[in-house]
Chain A
């Protein structure tokens, strides 16, 4: 079955890799522009924020393309829809919460993580109605808080290494989610054709906002 998924991933009809590529490109161009005009004047930008900037770009590039499929098929069975809402909410809450928490403290990490998690959780969960929306909101809320808390608690204990390990695990979970969506949708007809406009728009906005918040945003007492 997984071989089928891999075959589909490389099939010309599959747009997943293209969407990931486009999201990465849009995010890196945004970072490049920000760096050229503003961030290169920040002392120690690369050692201090470089890894988190890279991880946050990779995070959006694994979250946003998965949304394309949910938007294209629109309706899923309850169990699948809830799983989609929960996974998206948790990953989209936990990872941004972790990175912002590592640079701005628990309060701002939690707020940003919860906002991002609830937004993506509810948006993707609605493919199966109110249950999916509720599941997405709950997972987003929980993930945002947990991500920021993990960051602050690991400040003196290999946080950068932990961030990479957590990202790899989250990436594997997102591969699993895409495999599940593939399994659920291979007999279904697409309800709408989706393009990458929203993907590009969200990649630019979220990357810009996250990096701006990390560098110039308000910080808790611990970071002042």
Chain B
């Protein structure tokens, strides 16, 4: 009984000491990128290209103007399901096979909306002003 209690105390001690040194724990989301992307205006179309950084779209916040067409490209760093780009609030969904392909839509309402890949693994925010 006594030796088992000693072992239990040892186990708890090792876990506490180990956790103290190894707990690189940050609460909330593991990765957050707050860089805001501003589109380039070419011929009346707001164009922006997204890449990948820390396993998420980069920039993952886009600021666009309402009632003017928006064209979003994904560069070659975007892989897997992140290429299946969706913005549910504007009924946008397209699998962009190459960096030359794009999604185009005209935001007709102001506000903050989410965009994501089809599986919800990569996410971001679309601000329409």
Residues in chain A within 8 A of chain B (CB atoms): 9-12, 14, 17-18, 20-21, 24-25, 28, 46-51, 53-54, 57-58, 152-153, 155-161, 221-223
Knowing A11-B4, A46-B22, A53-B22, the reply to whether A158 touches B28 (Cβ < 8 A) is yes
Q: A-contacting residues of B (Cβ < 8 Å)? A: 1, 3-5, 7-8, 10-11, 14-15, 18-19, 21-31, 52, 55-56, 79-80, 119-123
Is the beta-carbon distance between B55 and A46 smaller than 8 angstroms? no
* A10→B24 contact, CB < 8 A: no
Q: Can you list 10 contacts pairing A with B, beta carbon distance less than 8 Å?
A: A9-B4, A14-B4, A25-B10, A47-B24, A47-B26, A54-B23, A152-B121, A155-B121, A157-B120, A161-B27
Q: Which interface residue of A18, A21, A46, A57 has the most chain B CB atoms within 10 A?
A: A21
Establish whether residues B14 and A25, one from each chain, have CB atoms under 8 Å apart when the complex forms. Answer: yes
Contact, CB under 8 Å: B18 / A57? yes
A11 engages B56 (CB within 8 Å): no
Partner of A222, one of B25, B27, B79: B79
A-B contact count (CB 8 A): 88
Of A10, A21, A51, A156, which is within 8 A of B55 by CB?
A: A156
**Which of chain A's residues have a CB closer than 8 A to the CB of B29?**
156-158
Bound CA span A161–B22, Å: 15
Check if B11 sits within 8 Å of A158, measured CB to CB: no
Contacts A10-B1, A24-B11, A155-B55; A54 near B22 (Cβ below 8 A)? yes
Q: Which chain A residue lies CB-closest to B1?
A: A10
Q: How far is the CA of A105 from the CA of B52 in the complex (A)?
A: 15
**Across the interface, which residues of B come within 8 angstroms of A46, CB to CB?**
21-22, 24
- Name A's interface SS: helix
Contact of A12 with B3 in the complex, beta carbons under 8 Å: yes
CB-CB under 8 A for A54 and B26, given A18-B4, A155-B31, A156-B55:
no
**CA of A157 to CA of B1 in the docked complex: distance in angstroms?**
44
Query: In the complex, which residues of chain B have a beta carbon less than 8 angstroms from the beta carbon of A54?
Result: 18-19, 22-23
Residues of B within 8 A of A11 (CB): 1, 4
B19 engages A12 (CB within 8 Å): no
A14 partner residues in chain B, CB cutoff 8 A: 4
Q: How far is the CA of A58 from the CA of B15 in the complex (A)?
A: 8
Q: Are B21 and A50 in contact (CB under 8 A)?
A: yes
- Residues in B with CB closer than 8 Å to A152 are 121
Q: Is the CB of B11 within 8 A of A21?
A: yes
Given contacts A47-B24, A157-B29, 4 further A-B contacts (CB under 8 A): A24-B14, A24-B15, A57-B18, A158-B28
* Nearest CB on A from B55, distance (A): 4
Q: Please state if B55 and A17 are interface contacts (CB–CB under 8 Å).
A: no
The answer to whether A156 touches B1 (Cβ under 8 A) is no
The answer to whether A10 touches B121 (Cβ under 8 A) is no
Which chain A residues border B22 with CB–CB below 8 Å?
46, 50-51, 53-54
Q: Is the CB of A156 within 8 A of B121?
A: yes
Which A residues lie within 8 Å of B30 (CB)?
Answer: 155-156, 158-160
Which residues of chain B are near A160, meaning CB under 8 Å?
25-26, 30
